Amino acid sequence: MKFVKAITTVDAHIAGEPLRLIMNGVPLLKGHTLQEKQKELVENYQAFRRIIMQEPRGHAAMNGCMIVPPCSEKADFAALFMDANEFISSTEEFVMIAAAVMVEMGNVQMKNDVVAVETIDRIFPVKICIEDGEIHSVSLQKDCHYELQYNASQSAISFGPNESYVISHTKHLGVKLDMDEFIELKSWAHTTRTSLSSECSSILIDAKQIEEKRFKTMVQKKNGLVSRSPYVRATCACLALFREEGMLQEGESVQHENITGGTYEAKLMKYTQNEMTVQITGRVFITGMHQFLLDPSDPLADGFIIVGS
């Protein structure tokens, strides 16, 4: 075998949501801004993305992150994100993972327990809590403006023209949020999602323990994939619902559990009519360190993906 390229990565997850960070072997990108660098990735490096994200090295639900030098002096490092299908904008989960891994690997130094991560959308301040010499938790605040159409059994919430959720209570559907029922749950999520719009995501919610400040969900995104984590934006949608129902007050925290068992702590920091600030706290775990090799004689070197597998 003859190898023409080696790519070093670190795999990690937060509450079940995976991210593969590309540490070495990143293409040298042109451009003075992160947006210009992202544009070059989209135009010239789709094959590179497929190699790292798709099978046989990845899978349909794989997420990735390129660590690059920051363009802003206010940032500690910059990150460009991708998945198995395309280069994507920033997602809060991935920002939190990237910050924790960069600190854990000793690649950045925190300032007042905060790491500033530059993305194509904005610079995210991420708070890192260290206990007994290891990262115990990672926190990020999200500001939300939303429109809520409330109904006791099924509600719709929009955070803008491209991000909407339909929230359905499992007690009204007659289903249980359990991995043993995953196939049926996925079908219900698809039905409720497409009944409103094929461009929205679906949240199946079990809120029977909300008085104890706990709830559980399964989230199916608009691309049909089920979130492996509680998902930051879905968490915010649920908190808006609880605020409407009078079950959550400003300053209170709730535990959000995903069907996989991963959890976030969500705190309603600030609330006004149709606006809120939510603090999400989770824990990041490194799951592997890899050196991927590219052999040009491999007929599947560029990767492949089987839709719906």
Residue (of 259, 208, 203, 269) closest to 235 by Cα position: 203
The pLDDT tens digits for 190-237 are: 888 887 777 899 999 999 999 999 999 999 998 889 999 999 999 999
180 & 212 share domain: yes
Is the whole-model pTM more than 0.85? yes
90 & 178 share domain: no
List, in sequence order, the alpha helices (H) in 45-106.
46-53, 92-104
The pLDDT tens digits for 65-102 are: 999 999 999 999 999 999 999 999 999 999 999 999 99
Residue (of 137, 64, 60, 57) closest to 103 by Cα position: 137
170 & 204 share domain: yes
DSSP codes joined into one string, 180-226: GGHHHHHHHHHHHHHHH-TTSEEEEEE-TTGGGTEEEEEEE-TTSPB
* Whether the bond into 56 is cis, omega within 30 of 0: yes
Query: Which CATH number goes with the domain that contains 41?
Result: 3.10.310.10
Q: Is 139 helix (H, G, I), strand (E, B) or coil?
A: strand
61, part of any domain: yes
211 & 268 share domain: yes
pLDDT tens, N- to C-terminus, the chain (309 residues): 666 678 999 999 999 999 999 999 888 899 999 999 999 999 999 999 999 999 999 999 999 999 999 999 999 999 999 999 999 999 999 999 999 999 999 999 999 999 999 999 999 999 999 999 899 999 999 999 999 999 888 999 999 888 999 999 999 988 899 999 999 999 999 888 887 777 899 999 999 999 999 999 999 998 889 999 999 999 999 999 999 999 999 999 999 999 999 999 999 999 998 999 999 999 999 999 999 998 888 999 889 988 764
139, part of any domain: no
Count of structural domains within the chain: 2
303, part of any domain: no
Q: Give the structural domain span for 218.
A: 147-273
Q: Is 261 helix (H, G, I), strand (E, B) or coil?
A: coil
* CA dist list (Å): 204 to 154, 161, 308: 9, 22, 20
86, part of any domain: yes
113, part of any domain: yes
What is the 3-state composition of the chain as percent helix, strand, coil, each rounded to the nearest 5?
A: 25, 40, 35
